[in-house]
Amino acid sequence: MHEKLRKKIIPGATGVAMPVPANTIDIIQNAEVSATSESENFPLDNIVDGSTGPGSSQWLAGSTGPQILIFKFDAPQNIIGIVYEIEEHEIARTQEVCFEVSSDSGSHFREILRHEYNFSPDGSTFQREELKLALPHITDLKMIIKPDKGNLACRAKLNYIAFLA
C-alpha cells in the first residue's frame, strides 16, 4: 500500500520574507549606506526590507551605468558571509558585481571578489549568491555594480543583501 505525501501548495510564495539567520548584521541599526543613485519608485531601502526570492522588492539605480553602494559600519565588523540577490526580467545583459572592503574607515579599499551574471528574459532571470568569507575588522564595504559589460544603457538592480558575522 502506498502512503500519500503530506503536502501543501503555497500560492504566490515568491517575494516573501525568508527567515533571517541569527548571525545577520542588522544593516539598518549598524551601518549607513551611500549610493550613487536610486529610483524614486525602487529605493535603496528595498534591499533590507526582508523580502527575498524571485519577485521580491528591489533597488533600481536612478541612472544608467556603473553604480556604487558603500556600507559604512558604525563599528568594525567581522564578516563571514555575504548573501545577495539580483533579478532582471527585461534586458539580456551581463552584469558585473565587485566587492571591496576597508579596515581603515574607507581610506583604502581592497577587492575581495568579482562576479559576472548573465541575464536573459527567456532564460536566467534571478541570481542568489551565498558567499563564505573571512573578513575581520571591516569598517566599510563597497559594492560596485556594472549593469552591463557590453555597455548597454541599462540600470543596476539589487533585490537583497545581508552580511553575516
Domains of the chain: 36-164 (2.60.120.260)
pLDDT at 1: 56
pLDDT band, very low/low/confident/very high, at 116 (cuts 50, 70, 90): very high
Query: For 129-156, what is each residue's pLDDT tens digit?
Result: 999 999 999 999 999 999 999 888 999 9
The whole-angstrom separation of Cα 12 and Cα 16 is: 9
pLDDT at 22: 80
More confident of the two residues 25 and 152: 25
More confident of the two residues 13 and 61: 61
Query: For 40-99, what is each residue's pLDDT tens digit?
Result: 999 999 999 989 999 999 999 999 999 999 999 999 999 999 999 999 999 999 999 999
Check if the beta carbon of residue 155 is closer than 8 Å to that of residue 36.
no
Tell me the pTM: 0.88
pLDDT of residue 158 exceeding 60, the answer is yes
pLDDT band, very low/low/confident/very high, at 115 (cuts 50, 70, 90): very high
pLDDT at 18: 60
The whole-angstrom separation of Cα 145 and Cα 154 is: 11
pLDDT at 20: 67
pLDDT band, very low/low/confident/very high, at 6 (cuts 50, 70, 90): low
The whole-angstrom separation of Cα 148 and Cα 99 is: 16
